[in-house]
Amino acid sequence: MDAGLKRELEEKVYAGERLTREDGVALYESDDLAWLGRLAHHKRTEMNGDRVMFNVNRHLNLTNVCSASCAYCSFQRKPGEKDAYTMRIEEAVRKAKEMEDEQLTELHIVNGLHPTLPWRYYPKVLRELKAALPNVKLKAFTATEVQWFEKISGLPADEILDELIDAGLESLTGGGAEIFDWEVRQHIVDHACHWEDWSRIHRLAHSKGLRTPSTMLYGHIEEPRHRVDHVLRLRELQDETGGFAVFIPLRYQHDFVDSADGKIRNRIQARTTMASPAESLKTFAVSRLLFDNVPHVKCFWVMHGLSVAQLSLNFGVDDLDGSVVEYKITHDADSYGTPNTMHREDLLNLIWDAGFRPVERNTRYEVVREYDAPVPLAERRAEPQQVWA
Ligand code: SF4
């Protein structure tokens, strides 16, 4: 990038001016990672100071049986496949109860698009979970699932959301977004929920008072301009509703053979690599700079590893998800040795070690507990330091 354009972009960021599509593409063309990080850190500090939010949550996947076969997905199974499963309601409640420790505040529930489970199953699960864990917030279902519920119930999303909210739904999840541009989307997505429906369902959720997350699956066959386009669509919707609490760039993962049947399900990995750590940090930084009206940018450490998660805090990220147990959707793909559990203490240390102040939040991004500022590294040199994978 020439020095003039660099200066121009810098001036825009420091003046708080909104960046354009062309600016976004230009930022992705820069390999000056330190510069990108500095700009994103300025923006992030302006919005969130030295705070890093985290929550104590668990992931629950009710079924991996799915009618779709998205090209990147390692999670889905067809009915009758060896490791296909569907939880009975009492099984889901038992599993959730087993995970109820460390003052759990959130259950994150996403599932395959099961071909024969009736719509009634879903609100019933939420009701039973809410009765069993009254203090735990239920963040459940992607827009893709809500659209699936429309199909299997014949009800409009309006009524579906009302019933789910009545059953205890606190927030939708952000999945199903992948990359909205059809040029890419047609090659990776097999379900029927694209930008028009995804945005319709989140808009509706926002109108009912829910705050929802937004996501982007990056690092596969898309180009930077598709990432920019994706974020700008979300930014425009956010201008309209203000209902997105957070943006979560999710790193695409190859499928490593660790499933019970030894099958590789990912159909695009021959055509692509995965995003490198540098590319991930760049994506966090550009996302923070472009998506200027979303309050938080999250690193889902399960998909990035702990080292990148820690560094991402200097590249625009101010939110870490979470203390996860059993994250199946990418853990069916991950062979990097990333742990699938982080406890509250681990997260606190990760954040303090990076020089930030941890803040525990709930699903609505309300503060549950503020923690002390970090002790400077210079004052604890004598202690053994933790090494993050
Ligand atoms: S990404 Fe979701 S909808 Fe697509 S195949 Fe996997 S589980 Fe099914």
Total Cβ atoms within 10 A of residue 235: 19
**Closest atom of ligand 1 relative to the 144 alpha carbon:** 3
Cα of 61 from ligand 1 centre, angstroms? 12
CA 118 to chain centroid: 27
* Domain annotation covers residue 81: yes
- The number of distinct structural domains making up the chain is 1
- pLDDT at site 263: 75
Compute the distance from residue 201 Cα to the ligand 1 centre, in Å.
18
Q: Hey, which of 61, 66, 145, 265 would you mutate to test ligand 1's pocket, going by the most ligand atoms within 8 Å of its Cβ?
A: 66
Does 299 count as an annotated binding residue?
no
Residue 345 assigned ligand-binding role: no
What's residue 377's pLDDT?
76
Task: Tell me whether residue 375 is in a domain.
Answer: no
Mutate to test the pocket of ligand 1, among 70, 188, 198 (most ligand atoms within 8 A of CB): 70
In a domain, residue 10? The reply is no
CATH number for the domain spanning 275: value is 3.20.20.70
Question: Does 193 show up as a binding residue in the annotation?
Answer: no
Nearby residues of 121 by Cβ (< 8 Å), 6 or more positions away: 89
- Tell me how far CA of residue 92 lies from CA of 89, 130, 167, 260, 382, in angstroms: 5, 12, 15, 21, 46
Q: Distance, CA 70 to ligand 1 centroid (Å)?
A: 5
Give the pLDDT confidence score for residue 127 in this predicted structure: 98
d(CA 26, CA 171): 34
Helix 21-29 to helix 224-241 angle (10° resolution) is: 140
CB 354 within 8 A of CB 299: no
Pocket of ligand 1 (CB under 6 A): 66, 68-70, 73, 75-76, 112-113, 144, 190-191
Q: Is residue 212 one of the residues assigned to a domain?
A: yes
- For 53, the domain range is 20-366
Residue ID of nearest Cα to ligand 1 atom 2: 112
In a domain, residue 6? The reply is no
> Tell me, what's the pLDDT at 321?
81
DSSP-assigned letter for residue 3? H
Ligand 1 pocket mutation, candidates 189, 191, 266, 267, criterion most atoms within 8 A of CB: 191
In a domain, 58, yes or no: yes
> What pTM, to 2 d.p., does this model score?
0.93
Residue 14 lies in a domain: no
Please identify, by atom number, the ligand 1 atom nearest to the C-alpha of residue 72.
Answer: 1
Q: Is residue 5 part of a domain?
A: no
Pairing of strands 319-321, 212-218: unpaired
pLDDT along the chain (389 residues), means of 10: 93 98 98 97 98 92 96 92 94 91 87 97 98 96 98 98 98 97 97 97 98 97 97 98 98 75 79 92 98 97 90 97 56 50 82 94 93 84 67
